[in-house]
Amino acid sequence: MLVQLIYASVGNNMGAAAINTIVAQGRKHNLERGITGVLCHGYGIFLQAIEGERAVVNQTYAEVLQDERHSDAQLLYFAEVSERSFSNWALGHVKLEKLNAPFVLKYVERLPLTPSQISGASAKAMVLDLVATAAVGHR
């Protein structure tokens, strides 16, 4: 059974190199586990969507929650799905601040972002919008 999970968290003083390390590590693990997803970051937060087999998604999220490179994670969205939305990416990478400034404002009231401020429905709509507009980097 396929599920999708989306959460938001706050990065702990992370530069571009540290984020690239997370993306590389995540891609490798996700490929091995049949997980696909997208990691967005910028305006003070991480916003990540992952999808795959339910037990594997739960396990991956549990591991990610333990990671000290971020904190204040909030689960925004969890649902069973009949098909994947991110099947092109083991872990796609989106730098939110490189997009046109108003893009993120389509889905939130204000910037910078906090995990508490983003609704599950908006988070899902935003990541689907990113996929549809080809704003997601790397396979």
User: Contact positions toward ligand FMN, by CB under 6 A?
Assistant: 22, 25-26, 29-30, 37, 39, 46, 48, 50, 60, 63-64, 67, 69-70, 91
Q: 45 to each of 34, 38, 72, 96, 136, how far by Cα in Å?
A: 25, 14, 10, 10, 17
| Distance of closest approach, residue 110 Cβ to ligand FMN, in angstroms | 22
Shortest Cβ 47–ligand FMN spacing (Å): 9
| Residue 13 CB, nearest approach to ligand FMN (Å) | 12
- Cross-strand pairs, 132: none
3-state class (DSSP) for residue 14: coil
Q: Is the peptide bond before 115 cis (omega within 30 degrees of 0)?
A: no
CB-wise, 66 or 102, nearer to ligand FMN?
66
